[in-house]
Amino acid sequence: MAEETNNNETQMENESKPIEDRLITLGDLIKIVKFAIIISISLILPVYLYFAGLQLGWALALFVGFILVGWLSYSIKR
């Protein structure tokens, strides 16, 4: 019952915000595209190199390296 009340309050707060606050801004869209490109490179490149003859262990190490570098660069505050 309490969850329904909280959900209703949140929905009413969201409806009371102006439409400009609920739309995706250009800055948000640029961030989404950057993350999509980084993720696709991180996933596609090791698989492509594996198909081209790279050993599975090295392909997995490359994939994990991409993920760790992405995570560390994201976690560092500017």
pLDDT at 1: 53
Domain boundaries, the chain: 24-78
Contact indicator for 14, 35 with CB cutoff of 8 Å: no
pLDDT at 19 over 70: no
pTM over 0.75: no
pLDDT at 30: 86
The DSSP annotation for 35-75 comes to HHHHHHHHHHHHHHHHHTT--HHHHHHHHHHHHHHHHHHHH
pLDDT at 53: 93
Residue 14 backbone zone (phi > 0: left; psi -120 to 50: alpha; other: beta): alpha
pLDDT per residue as tens digits for the range 48-61: 989 999 999 999 99
Residue 53 backbone zone (phi > 0: left; psi -120 to 50: alpha; other: beta): left
